[in-house]
Amino acid sequence: MSHSSFNYKVGLQNVGSYQVSGKPFAEGAIDASNPTVVEFPYVTNWVQVKNNSAAVLKVGFSANGVTTGANSNYFSVPSGSVSQIWEVKLTELYLNGSDDVDVIAGLTGINTDTINNTANSPSGSNWSGSSGVG
């Protein structure tokens, strides 16, 4: 009789990863005059964005979500304001329109390399932004 060895790892549905305080993440003075991605080293538990410039900032969950055109899969952070705290599972956050942005987040212990993004997005990198997710 052979013995199987299981190597369990946390994943997107691991409740405990979201119940504990998040590991802090901060990136400031981001120039998002053009579409820019903030990549997180671990899946987020929550995220908040501060727009320090005079321009309106578009925030989305894919490059498709923040580009100009008919697509409106983004939300705006007005000039000189701070967004609410969003409790979302992200591996990336896309920004466009402001030359001075701060992003803070609470990170889980879920490594982004363990997420099968191909199942979530045809492009294989985060959620697609084409179905109301921007």
CA distance 63 to 66: 6
Average of pLDDT values for 56-84? 86
pLDDT at residue 18, as a whole number: 60
SS in 3 state form for 22-86? Answer: CEEEEEEEEEECCCEEEECCEEEEEEEEEECCCCCEEEECCHHHHCCCCCCCCEEECCCEECCCE
* Higher-scoring residue by pLDDT: 19, 40: 40
pLDDT at residue 63, as a whole number: 82
Q: What is the pTM of this model?
A: 0.77
Write down the CATH number for the domain with range 20-120: 2.60.120.770
The percent of residues in the chain predicted with pLDDT above 90, rounded, is 43
Q: What is the mean pLDDT of the chain?
A: 80
pLDDT at residue 118, as a whole number: 57
Q: Where in the chain are the domains?
A: 20-120
Question: Does 62 score more than 70 pLDDT?
Answer: yes
Angle at alpha carbon of residue 103, lines to 64 and 21, rounded to 5°: 115
Question: Does 44 score more than 80 pLDDT?
Answer: yes
Listed ranges 47-51, 111-115, 124-128; the one with the highest mean pLDDT: 47-51
